[in-house]
Chain A
């Protein structure tokens, strides 16, 4: 079931709660303040809210400068523009300089919908993942987002947050405890493990239910933090089930699937099926169309799980 509140509304409310207690928190925008639901923040904290206009590179480095003085700036744009548009600025002025900047990349993958291929970030995790010191977090729903934000603010170093803006499918219940760097085990099962992130977690759970009806017991793990990744949980899942499926709203090159493949190859080689976008750009479409076009629906996950089971033998 869809959550009642949009992710961006919960994001802004959580930011305001944090900012009330912590005057280091600053919002820096690049002409998408409204799009990120951050106007209430700007109204409440006008002196801690900046809008640099359509200038993402400038935004990234202004945030770096703010961070040198102890501020905790959050920068915002669509995931395409807050990562690849200012990649060198993030690499040098933020990561290499070891500065605490929180980077919000919104509308990842299919979330870009009618903005289409130019706005559809399918490589943002890949390029952020290669930067030393970068933490990468992608919430599944607003409960997890709200629980994670204060923890991410408190930890050292830059963070990339892949933020779906609209109402997400509800996965976590009130009272959910966010454990940094630790996968959420959403379902136990010994036949196959499905490791998913972001909005694909809900699809993974639906696929697992379907498989269960046929007597196949799939475990479902949510990797909310693809870097640093929970190596122990992945290897444990591989040992317990002997075969893995990854699911992501991102290219299978460089994202969750790659990270899990790297982990398995070094720690516990087992058959692996990667469900994700297969080396192509995005296109215009509503979310359900795009998920089918990219092959990241529950049905695709189910098929991959059956294949993974066959590969195990």
Chain B
């Protein structure tokens, strides 16, 4: 019998296959930034978040915001796997009239809590939700994923200051520190590191982990769950395009073409 981590690992493989099929079916998409956060998304949607897929608008649900909105396909994969909608929808990604656009749209996709796409805005929106929870004396939590390059947007730090100032311990930020952005290596373009120190200096509880290791992810969420009086930033060391050699650790995987042959090869790698 498989243990919990093996189950999660199988799910991660399945999720990667779905992302590759979804984007490969179309021929182009944001492969790199979807594959770098697969494990975090699996853990959130299968272990951590208090959600009811059969009741997507349950008022007391935990909220999730994909601030790096271009990673829509991995969020859709989670929602499809968890039963928010049929997996048949995956094949409609970015097709005319689709409910699954490149960037997350709360008005189009069941289970998406916030629209995103223009980088840097999601954490502020997450703060609004976290404040609402506190106002309504509800114990739901808000989870938000930002990219590493995204933190070059000044608004992220406006939000960082205010979340700490408001002591929002119902807010958890996951940073996809894959070290790459569209034009190259993040450290070469405009470094956002050292992330733990920066977020710590802004008043957040911080923890750095290997973002592809479920044991470490579990440890990070345990840490966040026990933190009081401040929001938590989980700095996830990740690999862009993780799992398929055509994309892995390549800046070009941000938004890349994927031919039928490449898709088939990638799916073989993900068996």
Contacts and interface: CB of A to CB of B under 8 A. Distances in A.
Given A61-B128, A92-B117, A97 B135 contact: no
Of listed B113, B115, B125, residue having the most chain A CB within 10 A: B125
A65 B158 contact: no
Q: Looking at chain B's contact residues, is the secondary structure mostly helix, strand, loop, or mixed?
A: helix
Interface in A71-102: 71, 73, 88-89, 91-93, 96-98
A70 to B, nearest CB: 8
A253 to B, nearest CB: 25
B107 A65 contact: no
B162 A97 contact: no
The majority secondary structure among interface residues of chain A is helix
A69 interface: yes
A62 B106 contact: no
A55 interface: yes
Contacts of B121: 57, 61, 64, 88-89, 92-93
Contacts of B113: 68
Interface residues of A, number: 30
A47 interface: yes
Contacts of A265: none
Given A68-B128, A89-B121, A58 B106 contact: no
Interface size class of B (residues with CB under 8 A): 20 to 34
Contact of B118 (A53, A67, A92): A92
B120 to A, nearest CB: 8
Contacts, number: 107
A50 interface: yes
Given A68-B129, A92-B115, A62 B135 contact: no
Given A92-B117, A96-B115, A97-B106, A58 B158 contact: yes
B188 interface: no
Contact of A64 (B128, B133, B161): B128
Interface in B130-161: 130-133, 135-136, 154-155, 158-159, 161
Minimum-distance CB pairs A-B, first 8: A65-B128, A61-B124, A58-B158, A65-B125, A69-B132, A97-B115, A55-B158, A66-B128
Given A66-B132, A92-B117, 5 more contacts: A55-B155, A65-B127, A68-B129, A69-B59, A89-B118
Interface of A: 26, 47-48, 50, 52-53, 55, 57-58, 60-71, 73, 88-89, 91-93, 96-98
9 contacts: A47-B135, A48-B135, A57-B155, A66-B132, A68-B128, A69-B129, A91-B118, A96-B115, A97-B107
